Structure formats: C-alpha cells, structure tokens
Amino acid sequence: MLKEELEQDCEKAIQQIEEKMYAKEYEDEYEEVFCYGISFYKKRCMIENLKENGDYQI
C-alpha cells in the first residue's frame, strides 16, 4: 500500500510541473531539463523523473 501511495504522490508532483509549466522557462537556456517528482514517508523516499517523451521512470 505504501509503495502505491508514494508513486501516486510522485505522479502528482510531475503533473504539477507539467500543468504549471515550471520547466518551460529553462528550455531555451539548457539542452536538457530534468523534472523530478519526489515523495517521502518517514525514512522512505521515492523519486520519479519525467522523460522527454512524457513517460514516467521510477
């Protein structure tokens, strides 16, 4: 159960980055912009990044 909740929170973070277009302002300045969704619970952590093609990677 905890793993699924951490994954959901990471995906929500990535969605927020996309919706608010936080990375957009850096596209002209950098060749690559990496977007990460990070979720914590006590001593556990999960990190997902958004690939260029829009897929999630854990």
pLDDT per residue as tens digits for the range 8-56: 999 999 999 999 998 888 888 888 888 999 999 999 999 998 865 455 5
Query: Which DSSP string corresponds to 41-54?
Result: ETTEEEEEEE-TTS
Per DSSP, the three-state class of 28 is coil
So what's the pLDDT on residue 55? 52
So what's the pLDDT on residue 54? 52
**Above 70 in pLDDT, residue 57?**
no
d(CA 34, CA 56): 12
